Structure 1
């Protein structure tokens, strides 16, 4: 599979998820994001998935390509965005629909040498052993994002993507990361 996206900016004013709330005593269908009763509340996996997209406001979608063999069921995209401290990040989001770990080889082109920083670069994974698992009042944190530091960050790197998962790889970029001569874009390839 070979997918490519062109570079463009997209400003999202607001995002909404519907239906957002459901009372556990009046649950007529299951796409709700937040379940509550008179004394407790928990977020569903759909609620936590929305957290992966909250920084996309004003983000730049990057050229990216995914080369996958038929045994891998992956979808990936890449954006750049700034956090609350105005630090720039390269975010790679990967969905693994398959039932096996996949080692994703990431290649980044268009940044200055050594512009990706290990300190501050993270990997966040939302997954469960069974794709039909849900959170509940008894286990409200059964499926929640798990954040970890990335130890080895570079223009070429391998990242293991868990089965049945949504993974966000956030790479912190030095303050002046994009080349000023030639192309003013960043390309990300996944193998």
Structure 2
């Protein structure tokens, strides 16, 4: 469940900042905060996975991993979300451990990045998509070498085959179908 308040603001009566959606009599745009909220609401009903971020990569990164079922296409995904809150780009090696071989499909996985050259950038009626997500296809979803831009939020959606996921917990292995 995700919530954001205040959600809407009329551009002619802006008493509060930040808002998620700005409108006037004939236009509307989402703020950067709106796009971040979308990342979290799209994967409701998710299962949090154990994720490890190697300490030698950067002190400006925060990451999480979940499995979730997309209500639009009915497919199951592993979503890895990484925030680079630092002012430098970071090269990151991402590997998915604990999966049966060939459990991530070769096609259908995507990368979505939300960033801007200046962390203070905002959208406007003139530039409604100045700060908006950019989606690209991933070529290799098993072993990924990615560049995380400064002040960015990046989401990797790895399309899963219908197989089992092995989760290690206190030296015992559990198998669950996801």
Q: Using structure 2 for the length normalisation, give the TM-score.
A: 0.88
Match of 1:144 among 117, 132, 144: 132
2:102 aligns with 114
Structure 1 ranges of 4+ moved more than 2 A: 67-72, 179-185
Structure 1 gap ranges (5+)? 1-11, 186-191
Cα distance in 1 for partners of 2:57, 2:95 equals: 20
Q: CA deviation at 1:93?
A: 0.3
Aligned residues: 171
Structure 2 gap ranges (5+)? none
Residues 9-158 of structure 1: matches in 2 within 5 Å? 12=1, 15-69=2-56, 72-84=59-71, 85-154=73-142, 156-158=143-145
Q: CA deviation at 1:69?
A: 4.1
Cα distance in 1 for partners of 2:117, 2:166 equals: 42
1:110/1:178 contact within 8 Å kept: yes
2:58/2:90 contact within 8 Å kept: no
Cα 1:36–1:167 shift into 2, 3 Å = same
Cα distance in 1 for partners of 2:77, 2:23 equals: 35
1:87/1:175 contact within 8 Å kept: no
Q: CA deviation at 1:44?
A: 0.4
